[in-house]
Structure formats: C-alpha cells, structure tokens
A and B are shown apart, each in its own frame.
Chain A
Amino acid sequence: MSTEQSQRPIRCLVAKVGLDGHDRGAHVIARAFRDAGFEVIYSGLHKAPEEVVQATVQEDVDVLGISILSGAHNTLVPKIIAGLKEYDAFDDTLILVGGIIPDKDKKELKEAGVDAVFGPGAAMEETITFVRDNVPARD
C-alpha cells in the first residue's frame, strides 16, 4: 500500500566559478535547461570551488555544469572534483564544462573526471540530449 510513484525531473547546478564576470552564457543555458523541464539551480557569479562543492552536495544535483571563460579551468575544475570526491558526490554527478576551453585542455579535463566539454559553438539541443542520455541512474 503506497503512493510511491517516483516523479523526478533532472536537477542541475549551473555554476560560475572564479573571477570572470560574464554570465550571459550561464543564463542562456539555465533558461534552456528550464525549458527542457529540468530543475536548475544557478550559483551566481564569482563562486569559489568549495562553494560549488557545497551547493552540489546540498542540492543533490544530477548534473553540475561549470561555466568558465577566464582560462582558469585547469586549476578550478580539479579542485571542484576533489571536493565532490570528499563528500562522496563525484560518482553520481554528471560534470559538464562550458566556455572557452582550448582543445589541448579538453583531454586533461576529461581525464580529471569531466564528462563533457561544450564550447561556444555547441548547440543547446546537443547539450540537453547529452544530459538526458548520460544522467547517472539513481535508485
């Protein structure tokens, strides 16, 4: 006897980390995710890696989308990943990076644990489909 029908939209954190002050792209993706039926939590600008970790853990998101334009991805992203591991939140979080990422850094980010990197030319539909197809299964 129960009414236990699971109803679960995909939850995403869209995070801006570090010093860059442009969040137009983050707003656009937040809106597109919302229109795709996702629950989007937006972090706001200028977040430190530990703030992003805190939000990811507390909000229990399926997807963490990090937007970086400043070029500091090689230092900031691994810090976030290390924080997620510390709270046992790495394995079941899909990690995306968006922004200006040189090709040579993409491989390194993926080795560090990033699931996909989307550059400025990426179609929104492509990103949304990737999320739908790859979101980690939860019980």
Chain B
Amino acid sequence: MNATASLVDDLLAGKHRALARTITKIENRSPGYRELISQLHAHTGDAEVIGITGSPGAGKSTLVDQMAKVYREQGHTVGVIAVDPSSPYTGGSVLGDRIRMASTVGDMDVFFRSMSARGSLGGLSTATADAVKALDAFGKDKIIIETVGAGQNEIDIVRTADTVAVLVPPASGDDIQMLKAGILEIGDVFVVNKADLDGADRTVQELKEMIHMRDSDDEWEPLVVETVAKTGAGIEEFLSVLEDHYEHLETSGLLDEKARTRYAEEIRALLRADMGTLIAKEIDEQGGIDSLVDEVVAREADPYTIADRIMEPLEDCTGRRQS
C-alpha cells in the first residue's frame, strides 16, 4: 500500500494525526497531494460549511469558540480553519486565533487548524477548500472557516462556505461604510457582536436599512443578529439563523447549485495553475524569459507577439485534436 493510500485510510479511520498531516500536505502542495484529495473526494459532501469574516478585532475567534461549544453540546463534531495574514517581507506569520479557543479545550472532536495566507493570492482559497474537504471526509458535521475580511482574497475563501456570516462591530463607521462594495455584499447573516457596547443599536439599524435597500432577487433576506461572544449571549439564536439559511439552501435547490458553481470554479482554477506550469516550461524551451524580454527591449518584438509565439505550440496541439 502506498503512503497516500495509508494516509487516507488513517484519516477515514478517525486518526487525528493523519488529518493534521493531510492538511499540511494540502497547504504545502507536497508531492502526491492531488492524489490525496482525489481519494478523499468520494467521502465528502456531508458537512455544513460556515464562513465567518469581519474586520480585525470584531470578535471572530471568540464567536467561533462559542459556536464550537454550542455545536458540541448539540452533539455535533466541529472543524475550524482559521486563516491569518502572513508578512509580505519574510513570509512569516503569527497565528493567534487558537488562543481564544478556550471553551473546547482538550476536546479532540473540535479540530482547530491555523492557516497562514502565505502571501498567495488565489492559491489560498484552493488550499482552504481542499482542507475543508479533508475535514469533511474525516466526518466533521460543522466546518467553520474564519478569516479576516480585508479584500478579495478573503472573499474567495468565504465563497467556499455554504453560509457566510459577516461580523460588524458596533459604531464601525458612518453609513457610507455600509454602502461601500465588498464584504457587506457577501453576508447571508450579519452579526453585530459586542452588542453590549454603545452604538450597537444604531449599527443594527443601519445594517437593516442597507439590507432593505439592496436590489436582489434572492429569496433569502439577510438577517441581522446581535451577540456578545464573550458571554455567549445570542449565540444560540445566531446558530438557529445559520440553520434556517442552510435549510433554505436545501429546499430551494441552491445548495446543489452552489456546489456545482464551486466545482466549476475549482476545475477552472486547477486548469489555470496547470496551464501556468505548461507555459513556464514553454518559456524555458524558447530560451527563457530574459531573452524574450531582451527582444522586447530591443524593439525586435512586442509582448503580444511573444505571447502568441509561446502559445502557438499549445494551440497547435489542441487544434490538431479538434480537427
């Protein structure tokens, strides 16, 4: 039996170390990781995936901790993937969300894994989606993806979730902030956490107005819930809203539709990556990028001509197959 097969067997048998190692291989793009995910795929599709995003300090980790606690009380098993940024200079990172996972300490049925952004745009969402598959195949009922919402990268990540909750701290800006494009558009549920602070009521009101004014043919109208993650207040209500949303997805057929969209995106992302590798090889074949740049600098060729030249053999191959 090869190493991949035995790792898959161990993971399916419920060994935590195998799950941890599988996620590492996925993160690192280690040799064999593709085969690993291929083998896991057949065992996925049962978990409910929830994305949690919001600005730094909104209380995401504390909320996730409380969610995990209540899910465990309800008899579910939980997987958490927490994504933190990495340094653009050294690639290093401090992943600190684990500190706040205090309610489920010592409970191995909560599998918490920190992931660093590793400076990769696009690649991270693929790695996160694959890590979700590993947790799903392992048998986790609820999988929570936690990421700081600051840009496109995070939005890609939460797209891998069935339900997206956006945390909005009280008094987090005037109403123009609510009109800005970005994370406010992706929420299925909005959570005003730290609802015991001044300004919470106003934030709730502003969110409700924003939701009301949005132009959408979606049958699901995003809800606004209030929580105080530190004390656990409002958590159960929040979870029941998540449940309602999931039910809505199931009954409306949106769940299947979302899954199809995700798989389509995944196939395209993989192909783009593979295509990139093929093109890199072809560039080497044709003398390397520096010599191509030399031609452009010397005005012997332009970037478009070079691109055409690199693509030509690839186009020939696919053309030949079609004819």
Contacts and interface: CB of A to CB of B under 8 A. Distances in A.
Interface of A: 1-9, 30-31, 33-44, 48, 50-51, 54-55, 57-60, 87-89, 138-139
Contacts of B96: 41-42
B314 interface: no
Nearest to B91: A37
Contact of A39 (B21, B86, B98): B86
Nearest to A31: B94
A55 B111 CA distance: 9
Majority SS at the chain B contact face: mixed
A9 B92 contact: yes
Contacts of A87: 16-17
Interface string B62-90: 00000000000000000000000011001
A1 B31 CA distance: 12
B91 A3 contact: no
Given A3-B276, A58-B16, A89-B17, A38 B29 contact: no
A90 to B, nearest CB: 11
Given A51-B105, A58-B20, A40 B92 contact: yes
A41 B20 contact: no
Interface of B: 3, 16-17, 20-21, 23-24, 27-34, 86-87, 90-96, 98-100, 105-106, 108, 111-114, 116, 118, 273-274, 276-277
B106 A51 contact: yes
Contact of B114 (A1, A9, A59, A138): A59
Contact of B21 (A7, A31, A60): A60
11 contacts: A9-B92, A37-B90, A40-B92, A40-B93, A42-B98, A54-B105, A54-B106, A59-B114, A60-B23, A60-B24, A87-B17
Contacts of B111: 58
A34 B87 CA distance: 8
A3 B106 CA distance: 37
A87 B16 CA distance: 8
Contact of B20 (A2, A43, A57): A57
A30 B94 contact: yes
Nearest to B93: A39
Contacts of B98: 41-44, 55, 59
B252 to A, nearest CB: 35
The 8 closest A-B pairs by CB, nearest first: A44-B99, A34-B92, A60-B20, A37-B90, A8-B28, A60-B24, A37-B92, A3-B273
B3 A139 contact: yes
A58 B80 CA distance: 11
A40 B95 contact: yes
B16 A41 contact: no
A8 B25 CA distance: 9
Contacts of B99: 42-44
Contact of B90 (A2, A35, A51, A54): A35
Given A3-B273, A60-B24, A35 B94 contact: no
A6 B31 contact: yes
B118 A9 contact: yes
B258 to A, nearest CB: 26
Contacts of A36: 90, 92
A39 B113 contact: no
A47 B176 CA distance: 43
A41 B99 CA distance: 9
A2 B276 CA distance: 10
A2 B106 contact: no
A8 B17 CA distance: 18
B92 A35 contact: yes
B113 A59 contact: yes
B28 A39 contact: no
A41 B86 CA distance: 12
Given A44-B99, A59-B113, A34 B16 contact: no
